[in-house]
Amino acid sequence: MKRFHKYILGASLLSIALVTTSCEDETEPTHFATQDQASASSAATRALVYAMPAYFNHIDESLIDEKNWHGAFGYGAMMIIRDLQTGDRSIGTKYNGHFKNYACDQYMGKRYIYANYPWSYYYGFILTTNKVIAAIDLNNCTDDQKGYYGIASAFRAFCYLDLARTYEFLDNKKVKSVNENGKDVAGLTVPIVTDTISENDARKNPRATRADMAKFIENDLNKAEEYIKYSTEDTNILPDLACVYGLKARLYMWLEDYTNAAKYAKLAFSTTSSKPMTESDCLDAQKGFNDLSKWMWGAKQTSEDDAVKTGIVNWTSWACNETTFGYAGVGAYNLIDANLYSQIDDKDFRKKEFIGPNGPSKDQKILTSLQQAYASIKFRPNEGNADSYQTGAASAYPIMRIEEMYFIWAEAEAHLDAAKGKEDLIKVMTTILKRNPEYTFSGTTTEEVVNEIVKQKRIELFGEGQTFFDIKRLNMSVDRTYNGNNWIPLARLKTDGRPAWMNWVIPQNEEKNNSALADYNNPDPSDVYTK
């Protein structure tokens, strides 16, 4: 099925090249079309607003229909992609061609679908946010519309923060920042596309520096903080003020502004009505990590969503090992790294979110006959229904949880004062989150405390797409080569410091459409650890 994206004036020159993993390129042209702004009524604006959370579950029909690629199901796919580039989430042996190359550092160059899809998804999402922002005149609008403006600003900041952290080139031991065109791309992020940019400017729109991008995101979040208070929408699929604080905490961690990171993480967990998930919440076979009400912000899949109707091209299909209808349930397993699993204390109830090396324990309730070692049972199908995709895939997954804010707070404090960070971590583990009432930690240096906090955060947020940002930010190594590892052979890679593959490459078609990008793409990191 041929599909052309339409853009309002000011949208990105969104690349929709459909590129195979062969040497041949298949492209479609990028199209612009003007679109009248939405009606001045609050009701019309509200309809645009709900297109934003819907985009979490947006599927790319062109990839599904033309390439038979079943990894194009929206933000859940972005979470899986990032997780597979870490040392936390391993991949099963069957049906892994859809995501395998992200784990194996193959075909990561600008000509391939694996580079194209994340770029096109995020800028499509940004287009959706820009439509809302463009539809609202803050000098002549209702209070409801002011609230919608705040929500849209938060969504746009969310998208750009993800993009900036994934595409920014940071030093690594394998690939230098000077690319094949002789241009130094160190510290460059992505082009900023707003609701007011012209088509001509979009065609010569350079990658923003870290400083300029940070200023842009911060400005959006300040607007969100100012206007989101007018929102009367009461749903966790939209961000609220606590989520804005949470995004600021993520932003300041990226910028290594630990004072503000700690400040806003604390504001986030102090402001939200969300509570930490209990052991019962986490391990519930019917509502474990599929219950939107347990999180600050989440994505909801309904039975009417196109992604759910496909049966297999959705979050539940790929993230939940306990289904009979999805990919994960029939061999494309969602696995925790064996070494990470071994570091979970036996008294820590989170260990029960995974099947051990010897199979399920007696106190683990498995919905199917699943026996796979290290398989996650963290994400459960809706209502515990493992057999019906109409019900089971109509699930939810987390975008932001209060637990993340506590770990950001502890880590930020540790960078400022190791002893204080250690104290915070022990409090988080034993009394706030109650993951392990007997938790202790003997490290004292800043490095030791930060590494321990990040490890506990990795365990807590397994499968939620956040570990990638921590590894890249902190220049951590990835090692999948140890004895007893549970990675497929091609993914058994080891890095010295942050992996080169965490500097994502801009797709070729975007280079063609935006002249300012032609000489300033990141170097291709493909296969640099296997040569």
Q: Domain ranges in the chain?
A: 302-394, 402-474
Six-digit token string for 380? 């459960």
Six-digit token string for 248? 């600021």
Question: Could you report the per-residue pLDDT of 207-252, keeping only the tens digit for each?
Answer: 999 999 999 999 999 999 999 999 999 999 999 999 999 999 999 9
Beta bridge partners of 398: 298
Contact 428, 439 (CB under 8 A): no
406: CB partners within 8 A, 6+ apart: 265, 269, 276, 428, 432, 433
With residue 430 as reference, give the H or E element that holds it: none
> How would you class 443 by CB atoms within 10 Å of its CB: exposed for 0-12, middle for 13-18, buried for 19 or more?
middle
Each residue's pLDDT, cut to its tens digit, for the chain (531 residues) gives 222 233 322 334 443 232 333 333 322 223 332 334 454 578 889 999 999 999 999 999 999 888 889 999 999 999 999 999 999 999 888 877 789 999 999 999 999 999 999 999 999 999 999 999 999 999 999 999 999 999 999 999 999 999 999 999 999 999 999 999 999 999 999 999 999 999 999 999 999 999 999 999 999 999 999 999 999 999 999 999 999 999 999 999 999 999 999 999 999 999 999 999 999 999 999 999 999 999 999 999 999 999 999 999 999 999 999 999 999 999 999 999 999 999 999 999 999 999 999 999 998 999 999 999 999 999 999 999 999 999 999 999 999 999 999 999 999 999 999 999 999 999 999 999 999 999 999 999 999 999 999 999 999 999 999 999 999 999 999 999 999 999 999 999 999 999 999 999 999 999 999 999 999 999 999 999 986
156: CB partners within 8 A, 6+ apart: 126, 129, 130, 133, 220
Per DSSP, which regions of 305-448 are E strands?
A: 334-336, 396-400
d(CA 186, CA 522): 9
d(CA 189, CA 456): 29
Q: What is the DSSP string of 465-525?
A: S-HHHHHHHHT---B--STT--S-GGG--B-SSS-GGGSPPPPHHHHHH-GGGTT-PPPP-
Residue holding tokens 């570990």? 467
d(CA 340, CA 455): 8
d(CA 77, CA 74): 5
Question: HEC string of 76-138?
Answer: HHHHHHHHHCCCCEEECCCCHHHCHHHHHCCCCCCCCHHHHHHHHHHHHHHHHHHHHHHCCCC
326 in helix, strand or coil?
Answer: coil
Residue holding tokens 């250690």? 422
